[in-house]
Amino acid sequence: MDERLLDRAFTRSNAPRWNLSRDAFARALERSIASRFATEVKTPAVVSEYVDSLNLEELALACACAEGQVSAWAYFIECHRPGLRAAARAIAGDDAGGELADSIYAELYGLEERDGRRRSLFDYFHGRSRLSTWLRSILAQRNVDLVRAAKRTRPLEEHDEAVADAGAAGVQADPERARFAGLAQQALASAIRQLEPPDRLRLSSYYLQRLTLAQIGRLMGEHEATVSRKLDRIRRGLRAEVERLLREDHRLGRSQVQACLDSALEDVGMDLDEVLGNGSARARGWQEKAGGSF
């Protein structure tokens, strides 16, 4: 790495505050640069711009914690512990939140050794985000892993089997309804695939993740009123596209289009995938909020 760039970054990072050596900071910076430009060509100018954009102070703090500097840990605990616990409670609930927050301290300190050096989770912080955001991201990742692991071992409930039977019977009873439902689902899937990724993310955040407009706005960097308008536009576009596909691709009339949508809705209540265990909290989520409309 360019020495002048390193000097500048080291000065800006205030690393001496944590008794962090220049070499240790340089290693952290190298890791960050390697991570950023793993698949892209790097020129000195681009690297310099990248380094200037980093949260260098927090990178130095994380690096010092990884090195086991006591003053850095004291500062980290004082500043980030309450936020970490609050975030864990928001993510995993009040009961599991404390446990989740506590569980990552061992990883942050680094209990495993590699090449004679402790491998701390802090090594994976590259200064591209705020340290607090990165910590919450780690918590969220751990929590999703836990939920997925728990889901894999959850037994089917007796009632679900009964509902599965009822659902199967309903589907077999009326082949025309099943065909209509299939057409509607096919058209909807096609329309969803045509959405721009940000629009699809907005829609998923609202319908599947059940975020508030303010939260979606925070995600997308928009005001909630903008989110509201965009969701409305996307939804109308989806409906128009579904109806167009049913009309033009399948030559259906207006009443048949409505019948398709009705049949698909009816299927929602007896979806075998969900009943057999593939359904998730997300599936339930939209059902609870589905009473609302834009």
Partner 1 sequence: MKPTDADRDPAFDRLIARGLERETDASGNACPDADLLAAWFDHSLSALETERIEAHASSCAHCQQILADLARSEPEVTRAAPVPAPARPWHWHWRWLVPLATAAVVVVVGTRTLRAPGEVLIPASSPPPAIGGRPSTWVELQQAPSPTQPSAQGAGGIGAQAPAGRVARNVPTAPVDRLEEPKREAARAEQKAQPAAPNADAPRNLAAAESIVSAVPPSGAAPAQAGAARKSLLPTAAGVAPAKADAVTKPVAAAAPAPPIVRAVDERGARAPRYVNREIVAPLLSTSGTGDFGATATWRYGQGGVVERSTDGGQTWDRQASGVATALIDGSAPTDRVCWIVGARGVVLRTIDGHTWQRLTSPTSANLVSVHAWSDSSATITASDRSEYETTDGGTTWRKR
| Residue closer to partner 1 (CB basis): 21 or 185 | 185
Q: Which is nearer to partner 1, 116 or 132 (CB)?
A: 132
DSSP 8-state assignment for residue 212: -
* Residues 136/218, Cβ–Cβ less than 8 Å: no
Shortest approach of partner 1 to residue 56 CB, angstroms?
Answer: 9
Least Å distance, CB 232 to partner 1, is: 5
Give the C-alpha separation, 248 to 106, whole Å: 59
Nearest to 66 by CA among 126, 3, 6: 126
Rounded to a whole number of angstroms, the minimum distance from the CB of residue 111 to partner 1 is 19
SS3 category, 114: strand
Nearest distance from residue 39's CB to partner 1, in Å?
10
φ and ψ at residue 222, rounded to 5 degrees: -130, 160
**Residue 210: CB minimum distance to partner 1, A:** 5
Choose between 71 and 116: whose C-beta lies nearer to partner 1: 71
Cα gap 190→58, rounded to integer Å: 44
CB of 1 to partner 1, least distance (A): 19
Identity of the residue, 21 or 132, whose beta carbon is nearer to partner 1 in the bound complex: 132
Terminal CA-to-CA distance of the chain, rounded, Å?
A: 53
Our measurement of the distance from residue 110's CA atom to the centroid of its chain's CA atoms, rounded to an integer in Å, reads 25
Q: Which residue has the tokens 């009961």?
A: 95
Q: Which is nearer to partner 1, 68 or 141 (CB)?
A: 141
Pick between residue 21 and residue 215 the one whose CB is nearest to partner 1: 215
Alpha-carbon span 143 to 129, nearest angstrom: 20
Place of tokens 């495993």: 112
- 197's CB contacts (< 8 A; 6+ apart) are none
